[in-house]
Structure 1
Amino acid sequence: MPSTILPSFPRAQQAQIIRANQRDLYHVSSLKEQTEAVLRSWLGTRWLTQWDKEIELLVKLGYYGLTTGRAIQTLGEEYTDIWQHSSLAERVPSYRARAALILLPTLPSYVLARWGSVLVNLEPRIATILRALPTVFEISSEINLAIFYLRGTYYDVAKRLLGVRHLSSLPENPHTRPPSYSLLGILLAIRLLYRLISFVRSTAKPSSEKSKDKLPITSSQTTETYIDDRPVSSFLGPVDPEGEPAKPAEEDERTILDVASISSATRARRNCTLCLEERTDSCATECGHLFCWSCIVGWGREKAECPLCRQSLNLTRLLPIHNL
């Protein structure tokens, strides 16, 4: 009786995996931009700035949940004709493995970005660990990427931990030689070695040099802007743009204008382009554009550029305006 040979699929080539990942990043970025455009038109830029991290998380969960979560190809994998395959179970990744593939690359980074500043105020040991986590994630990702360029397996850390590889539905062509990315792996390894040497040198500094690095910053070293020997921050006080609701212009105590007596046509031209409400605590950027203090500070913490003209934005250079 003749033996039956079951068909087998070759492993995906490096070029296929890289192109698939680039395609997925493009589609996620495009989906995020379209979602932000819709929400901005409905709810305004102020709301969007406050919840941008949650929107990014939901977009990624939605994209990968509807593809990887359902055990079907992502748009990038469909573009290059590759499939995810568990090398441990020799089958399609299990439901738990697929859930881990979705959550591991997205959830930790979101938690650190959203609540990292709050978590570091805990016990000193926990705070030290939390501060080091972004660097650990970055280095581990670079190490994994260097190994991928050298050996061609497991493009990201989550797939390496879970043993999820890619198979190709395209037959191998014995007459062509796939491109090699070993040089990129070597360059990444050199970069990691340089970072290691720099870290060892910094930890081996004499105690006198370390104490110099930790000296408190004097007033002459700060980049705070002053008006009549008073720092600008003292004019407006502490700001929590994500927690403070927009207040009516009539309640603005930091203006010399009698807002209630201004005509409605003039007040319509006083709107902040970020929150779409009448400006309060007005301030000007170096490029001359006017915004609410809390709006532009919230924006500047995420993007160091003017939302109107895209010139560089330095939050220490904002000037309070009391008569506009």
Structure 2
Amino acid sequence: MFKLLSFANAPAVVRANQKDSYFESSLLKQLTELAKAVKGTRFVHKCPEELRTLATALYLCLTTLVGSKTLGEEYVDLVYVGRNGRRLPKFVSRLGFILAYTLFPYGVRNLLQKLKSGKGRLSELASKLNYVNLVDLMNLHLAVFYFSGKYYHFAKRLFGLRYAFGYRVDQNQRQARGNYELLGLLIVAQVVFKNYSNLKDFWDKQETAPETGDLVYGYREQKDPVIDLADPGVLPYIPENSRTCMLCLSLMKDPACGECGHVFCWTCIHDWVKERKECPLCRADMRESQLLPLR
């Protein structure tokens, strides 16, 4: 019969997650080096999200899926229990959590990118969804965790995976450690302020932007690209061997560059710097505000 354990508090869960993030990063680095040796550097630059998703899935499959603790859980001595804490989660729940945690965010990102690159109302809707960032929704869920100490990730809430201490807990010491309510409050305030400002500016721009396709917070409000380097007469000062985007490997559309001078498609480099604040070629510092569209 399973012995009822004490649910883990937020500080312990955060420490375990930080350890796991470190080991996942180490695994990703090794996986990237392997992919570079087998498939080449171009493949690594073209598929960073796929490699990151694979590294996370591999780490969880070797630990959580087979019923073992992750290295972070081992470090803090945490175990998975069900919603009521009276039984261990079944294999199906663990598998569902891994699939939701790794594949769902990857699928949503790719779907939105495809919609934005298309035409019609779906493309416009995808661009507007960018202003209500899905990352902010996950941050709100994180704030809820800081308030309650339950379910660090949304996928764990979905499949009922909670953490419990693997040892007997001194309740007086547990209370003395405190919690993260203040941090949760700051996250909520940040998300609300950020999205209120973005949405207000977005609708103000929508009312005043001309139909020719001005840049609105980093996105062109138009159906077709203004500058397509497939046409040799467009921006002739760019040499023929430099007109291909090194991220999508196609002739550039709406070319843009950072302070380092490397040129990419506007959409490609904008999506890149949202995840990594560096040039994909030379690793120089690069921010969204530094991107310059070429004319």
Q: TM-score, normalised by structure 2?
A: 0.71
- In the TM superposition, what whole-angstrom CA distance separates every residue of 1:190-217 from its partner, at most 9, and x where no partner exists? 2233245436745875xxx633135535
Gaps of 5+ in 1: 246-283, 319-324
* Inter-CA distance 28–127: structure 2 relative to 1 (3 Å threshold): farther
Could you tell me which residue of structure 2 aligns to residue 140 of structure 1? Answer: 137
- Matches of 2:280 and 2:96, distance apart in 1: 38
- Matches of 1:122 and 1:86, distance apart in 2: 45
Task: Name the SS of the counterpart of 2:81 in structure 1.
Answer: strand
Task: Name the SS of the counterpart of 2:101 in structure 1.
Answer: coil
Shift, 1:96, TM fit: 2.2
Could you tell me which residue of structure 1 aligns to residue 94 of structure 2? Answer: 98
Could you tell me which residue of structure 2 aligns to residue 248 of structure 1? Answer: none
| Structural mapping, 1:298-313, within 5 Å | 302=272, 304-305=278-279, 307-308=281-282, 310-312=284-286
Task: Name the SS of the counterpart of 1:37 in structure 2.
Answer: helix
2:133 is aligned with 1:118: no
Contact kept, 8 Å, 1:57 with 1:106, in 2: the verdict is yes
Task: Name the SS of the counterpart of 1:167 in structure 2.
Answer: strand
* Residue in structure 1 matching 2:28, options 32, 35, 50: 32
Task: Name the SS of the counterpart of 2:212 in structure 1.
Answer: coil
2:259 is aligned with 1:231: no
- Matches of 1:80 and 1:51, distance apart in 2: 33
- Matches of 2:248 and 2:123, distance apart in 1: 25
Contact kept, 8 Å, 2:4 with 2:86, in 1: the verdict is no
- Matches of 1:18 and 1:95, distance apart in 2: 24
| Structural mapping, 1:1-324, within 5 Å | 7-87=3-83, 90-114=86-110, 116-120=112-116, 121=118, 124-125=121-122, 128=125, 132=129, 135=132, 137-176=134-173, 177-195=176-194, 197-198=196-197, 201=200, 210-217=206-213, 231=235, 235-236=239-240, 239=244, 241=246, 302=272, 304-305=278-279, 307-308=281-282, 310-312=284-286
Contact kept, 8 Å, 1:12 with 1:167, in 2: the verdict is yes
Q: Tell me the amino acid that sits aligned with residue 159 of structure 1.
A: K
Task: Name the SS of the counterpart of 2:135 in structure 1.
Answer: helix
From the CA coordinates, give the structure whose radius of gyration is larger.
1
Q: Tell me the amino acid that sits aligned with residue 170 of structure 2.
A: N
- Matches of 2:89 and 2:73, distance apart in 1: 15
RMSD of aligned alpha carbons: 4.1
Could you tell me which residue of structure 2 aligns to residue 267 of structure 1? Answer: none
Shift, 1:65, TM fit: 1.2
* Inter-CA distance 311–241: structure 2 relative to 1 (3 Å threshold): closer
Q: Tell me the amino acid that sits aligned with residue 94 of structure 2.
A: R
- Matches of 1:195 and 1:61, distance apart in 2: 31
Shift, 1:233, TM fit: 7.4
* Aligned positions, number: 262
Percent of aligned positions with the same letter in both sequences? 23
- In the TM superposition, what whole-angstrom CA distance separates every residue of 1:113-144 from its partner, at most 9, and x where no partner exists? 44543234266248625862794532331221
Q: TM-score, normalised by structure 1?
A: 0.65
- Matches of 2:161 and 2:58, distance apart in 1: 21
* Inter-CA distance 307–199: structure 2 relative to 1 (3 Å threshold): closer
- Matches of 1:299 and 1:201, distance apart in 2: 25
Task: Name the SS of the counterpart of 1:12 in structure 2.
Answer: coil
* Inter-CA distance 202–42: structure 2 relative to 1 (3 Å threshold): closer
* Inter-CA distance 80–119: structure 2 relative to 1 (3 Å threshold): same
Shift, 1:167, TM fit: 0.8
Shift, 1:77, TM fit: 0.7
